[in-house]
Copies of this chain bind each other. A is one copy, B any other.
Amino acid sequence: MRILMLILDGLGDKPYPNLRNKTPLEFARTPNLDKMGHLGETGLMYTLGPGIIPGSDTAHLALFGYDPLEYYQGRGVYEALGAGIKLKPSDVAFRVNFATKKKGIIVDRRAGRNGYKLDELANELDGMKIGNAKILFKHTVEHRAVLVIRGKGLGKNVSDTDPHVTGKEIREPKPLTKSKSDKKTAEVLRRFLKEAERILKDSKVNRSRKRKGLPPANALLVRGAGQYKPVPGIKGRFGITATGIAGGALYKGVARFVGMDVPDIPGATGDKNTNLEAKAEAAINAKTDLVFLHVKATDSFSHDKDPKGKARFISKVDKELVSKVKSEFDLIFVSGDHSTFSSIGEHTADPLPILIYGDEDIIRQDLGAFGERKSALGQHKINGLDVMPILLSKAGFMEKFGE
């Protein structure tokens, strides 16, 4: 049996007066999801457990059946894997912003959120040697990049250099423990950042950005240290093959981390203009037992505090994506990775609706629609870690426990 796991990022939300007291999902025009909600099993999911506010990385680990308490290695690891860097054991990875500073003070944490020629700039930093450590540096999208320090005796407990607000100086990287390995990472990072700023300052790219009226990318803000350790893949743990289809680097990264095959899909951008039909097609054409299909923009609208935009985008997902995939899989799971309230623009710990749909072996709940409050009447109340066992048992990939 072929399983689709469709994750609409940050799907769960609350009702809003300007949506006639409905949630974005309830307000959206979703004939396909509603039919699947009517004929399918539904319920609510606390991705990491009641009261735990999920990050995107930890939430996806749980959805893939990997307990984040055991398998979470820090955001940098998943970003680096998502950027296509082949990590080696003990590599220490960071998320990086190209930023703009003036007289030592950060004036723009995102260098105008403009990626113009930043890949060239990244290439100048990539491959640098600091003592016996090697630097890997790769631009991803907009102002974003990943940094990997490779070498012996490195630790991951170092502080972010990102002050997280403008008007402040960049922080010095500090070891967070007294261990030798954390000290070494902090020291390599400090020396790299010093050398990097010297290179950025004199670079042709920044002269070229200046001519275009763009803020210079003359500083690096580093955060989210993680240290990579390979883990047993989804094939070994669950006996199935899996494909991950996503635009955003983080989601590709978590999928690669658990051993999914992650192709690059042209047009899958991870933003509001992503090509939903191309993603649907890639999902349908994937040859694996499980296909993980991730759509990011639902969450982005919530972060932008735009519940109406979120509802419109969900309608679009129903029309351009759900309509195409719904009869192409034997079993379909639809949910999000966490709730994101458009009122505050932040992830919340609230349970979010789930939907399990298939031709057979489904206890249809006859609830008429798919939404937060309808799903509260469905039969499932689960945690994120329950999703894989439920799907795999329904699809015939699980053995009985006992006889």
Q: Is A56 an interface residue (CB 8 A)?
A: yes
**How distant is A239 from chain B, measured CB to nearest CB, in Å?**
14
Point out the residue from B341, B372, B380, B403 that lies within 8 Å of A50, measured CB to CB.
B380
- Copies, count: 2
A387 / chain B contacts, CB cutoff of 8 Å: 51
A14 / chain B contacts, CB cutoff of 8 Å: 361-364
Point out the residue from B68, B376, B391 that lies within 8 Å of A378, measured CB to CB.
B376
A400 / chain B contacts, CB cutoff of 8 Å: 53-55, 347
Point out the residue from B72, B343, B390 that lies within 8 Å of A349, measured CB to CB.
B390
Q: Is A350 an interface residue (CB 8 A)?
A: yes
Within 8 A of B (CB), among A328-385: 341, 343-344, 347-351, 360-366, 372-373, 376-383
**How distant is A62 from chain B, measured CB to nearest CB, in Å?**
10
Q: Is A48 an interface residue (CB 8 A)?
A: yes
Contact between chains at A348 and B393 (CB < 8 Å): yes
Assuming the contacts A14-B363, A344-B361, A362-B14, asked whether A48 and B349 have C-beta atoms less than 8 A apart, the reply is: no
A378 / chain B contacts, CB cutoff of 8 Å: 376
Contact between chains at B68 and A394 (CB < 8 Å): no
Contact between chains at B361 and A366 (CB < 8 Å): no
Interface size on A, residues (CB 8 A): 61
* Bound-state Cα–Cα, A50 to B381, Å: 9
Q: Is A149 an interface residue (CB 8 A)?
A: no
Q: Is A193 an interface residue (CB 8 A)?
A: no
Which residues in A have some Cβ–Cβ distance to B below 8 Å?
14-15, 21, 23, 44, 48-59, 68, 72, 75, 224, 341, 343-344, 347-351, 360-366, 372-373, 376-383, 386-394, 398-403
| 17 A-B pairs (CB sep. < 8 Å) | A14-B361, A23-B363, A48-B401, A51-B386, A51-B387, A51-B391, A52-B401, A53-B393, A53-B401, A55-B403, A56-B402, A57-B403, A347-B400, A348-B361, A348-B393, A365-B373, A366-B373
CB-based closest 9 A-B pairs: A51-B389, A55-B402, A58-B402, A50-B386, A51-B390, A349-B393, A376-B379, A381-B381, A75-B403
